[in-house]
Structure 1
Amino acid sequence: MIIGGSALLAGVSGGAAVYVGKDRLLGDEEAANGVACTDVNLVTIKKQDHVWVRKYIKTEPVDGMTRIKTALRVAQAVYEAQKPDLVQVVVLDENGPTLRSDIRGRAIGADVVYIPHPDKMVEGLDDKPYTARYYDGTASEQGLFYGERIELPDDRIAALNASLRDPADCIDPVAVASTKKESKKPAGSTEPKEAEEPSAQEQAAKDAAAPGEAPADVPPAKSGH
């Protein structure tokens, strides 16, 4: 009985370990979809009858694979909304640069390129639908990433892409600010309108309706006394 109980306990513990390992491997829904992100800039390029969209986003400090998952998710969302021929998503740290001239090198924590139809693209581009690169180190206080630069193999990208459950885009801070501004207005309030100048006919009718008042540009009549 002691031996059997020990075996049962070992079996239960082993089963629990399998489930814990599976959870850590697959992650919960939020981890599988990356993290929340904020729009920084969006560039649309038209080249040889093709439309390319390059989107710059920023996230809180996270590891390299989470940045890749976030970029893949956003790339899918951009494609579903706009149907471009190429989508590039560049992931920056929340403390990183926002000017396009400064977004280069180690300021780019992850970079994903999605080409939905590689056979229709111009020459010189990869003939595969996805490329994904990232720095495996964390970002500094200035938003620059360190560590080794890793390029994911195609099968790994396909597995991550298939695990995405909710291809949601990033938060647009301009739209959020506009929504907050509108919500602060009292219900039913409208913007004040400027008074319109009356037409000649309206002014004539107004003068006729008030015979005792002379128009401003006409001097009052002299008395006969």
Structure 2
Amino acid sequence: MLVAEHHGRGMYDFRRFNAARAVPTFPKLATSRIALRNNPVSTHDFRDMWNTVIAGLFALAGVAFGVAAEPFKAAVSSRSRTRQARGEQCAKLISATTATRHGVIALNAAGRAICAGHKGPEPKQVNGWITEINDARSRGREASALLDLYGPLELAKKARKVLEAEESVYLLMDEPDPGEHDLMKKPPQLIAATDALDVVVQEFAQQAHKFTR
């Protein structure tokens, strides 16, 4: 217990203390220091701790980046599927146009042969060419319509030009020879129409390459 002795003139002597409180002690702090002294933390412990913390931060950053990147990945995937579908329709249009061209030329040659007095092809073969032409034209128009859907507009316009050139060839199916019959040569108008179709198809293929790769 603290005792104050008065010595006059307002002065007090605080030299007398309770012996039990003269030296304060901190048993918990002392115990902690002893524990640290007996079990020091090694550099490896700190290193392992920081490695764990850093690994956790990187894992958290990876999860956050994955969540943020999901819309971008979905957009890329959608664009990839559109390009693939566009390429399939372009290939279908070229294949259909080629089949139409082949069928028209075959039927025209058969008709000119019959007009020249030669034996014509079997009806079954003629019907096969007609079926081939009809099926090919249907596939071509379907492909062109889907290209209008998938775009771009520039490619869709090229597809319609292909169909227009194909129509010009189709209308010349019954084109006769201009003079003497020559089964080895197509009529000049049919030659011009098929050549024009070939040019348009080539231009379309080049345009399609830009939008499908």
TM-score class, shorter: under 0.3
What is the TM-score with the length of structure 1 in the denominator?
A: 0.26
Higher Cα Rg, which structure: 2
Instruction: Tell me which protein shows more strand as a share of its residues.
Output: 1
Instruction: Tell me which protein shows more helix as a share of its residues.
Output: 2
What is the TM-score with the length of structure 2 in the denominator?
A: 0.28
